[in-house]
Structure 1
Amino acid sequence: MSDRLLNGLTLFSAIGSGLIAGIFFAFSVFVMTALARLPSAQGIAAMQSINVVILNPLFGVVFTGTALACAVLAITSYFRWGEAGAIYLLIGSLIYLIGSFLATLMFNVPLNDALAAADPNSANGAELWLHYSSNWTAWNHVRTVASIAALTSFIVAFRQFG
């Protein structure tokens, strides 16, 4: 892979990790707290709407595109192992892929799917909301920290290339 392409993918991964970190940070710091203050039916309905709206092409390009770029960078780091920044490419890529992308698929998405099937006005919905909001938010904290750590690692790698 050329240095120019490597720099571009590293920059894209840094920006993508930063954008995703910002989204996750907002949910961890205030969105979920605000939703938890609402009556459960309203909190469920709001989160159900958010989970539908977030599935759009722009979010998909940033979230999935960053994961794909990280996969390429992880492989590339193996072939450039002795070079400056390679370890940070690998670390940033693995942190994003495991802590952000995989955590989302394994933990947050199944919780979102369960919430999507819930009737916001039912007793089961209210019980599910309590379980959902605490577990979803805990995993979101993991995703937030992972995305920030990946961003940091990509910045260090990018600086070492220079």
Structure 2
Amino acid sequence: MIEGPYFVLTVLGAVACGLVAGVFIGFSTFVMKGLAALDPARGIAAMNAINVAAVTPAFMALFMGATGLCAVLAVVTFVLWPDEGTVELLLGAALYLVGCFGVTVAANVPRNDALAKVDAESEQGAAYWRTYVREWTVWNHVRTGAATAAAASFVIGIT
């Protein structure tokens, strides 16, 4: 059975991944739909403002904290190799690190960077906005699912 600091670390990992999943599901289920309903220039301006606001200490502490917790959980699990929960803990760490952090770096952030360079008033900007909303949301669904599954995996690993 997982006990002591390892148990606390796993609970913190589950909570952090669950909180990140909550932020992302809000975007997938209503924020992006609301932004897509706006005139493209207004949608682009709003999303660019959100992308700037997202890089605040509070969200970054949560997002990067969850990343750090998952990395530490993976290392500790490899070192301790507990009798129970090993697969679930390693799976949870991998899901978050690859499916949430990795997807953010490889898919969502590059799209955000490209959106910041778009002329919001141009036809090309409007066309990119439609593509951006569709693709960014698909990748956000992946992040949401990965963070949710990671949280569930950690909970299963300690039960």
TM-score, reference length from structure 1: 0.93
Instruction: Give ranges in structure 1 of 5+ residues lacking alignment.
Output: none
Displacement of 1:57: 0.6
* 1:57 and 2:57 correspond: yes
- How many percent identity over aligned positions? 45
Query: How far, CA to CA, are the matches of 1:113 and 1:98 in structure 2?
Result: 20
Counterpart in the other structure of 1:120: 120
| Residues 80 and 86 in structure 1, CA contact (< 8 A), matched pair in contact too | no
The farther-off stretch of 76-85 and 58-67 is 76-85
Counterpart Cα distance in 1 of 2:107 and 2:92: 21
In the alignment, residue 107 of structure 2 is paired with which amino acid? F
2:15 counterpart residue number: 15
How much has 1:122 moved relative to structure 2? Answer: 1.6
How far is the alpha carbon of 1:101 from its aligned partner?
0.4
Question: TM-score with structure 2 length normalisation?
Answer: 0.95
Matched ranges for 1:18-33 at <5 A: 18-33=18-33
Number of the residue aligned with 2:80: 80
Per-residue CA deviations over 1:25-61 (Å, capped at 9, x if unaligned) read 0111111111111111111111001000010011111
Give unpaired runs (5+ residues) of structure 2.
Answer: none
Q: What is the CA deviation profile of residues 71-119 of structure 1, one whole-angstrom value per residue up to 9, with x for unaligned ones?
A: 1111111123242112111010000000000000000000000011112
What is the aligned-residue RMSD (CA, Å)?
1.3
SS for the counterpart of 1:141 is helix
Do the aligned residues in 2 keep the contact of 1:81 with 1:87 (CA within 8 Å)? no
The residue matched to 2:74 in structure 1 has which SS?
A: helix
Instruction: Kindly state the Cα deviation for residue 158 of structure 1 after the two structures are TM-superposed.
Output: 2.3
SS at match of 1:95: helix
| Number of residue pairs aligned between Structure 1 and Structure 2 | 158
In the alignment, structure 1 residue 110 sits paired with structure 2 residue 96: no
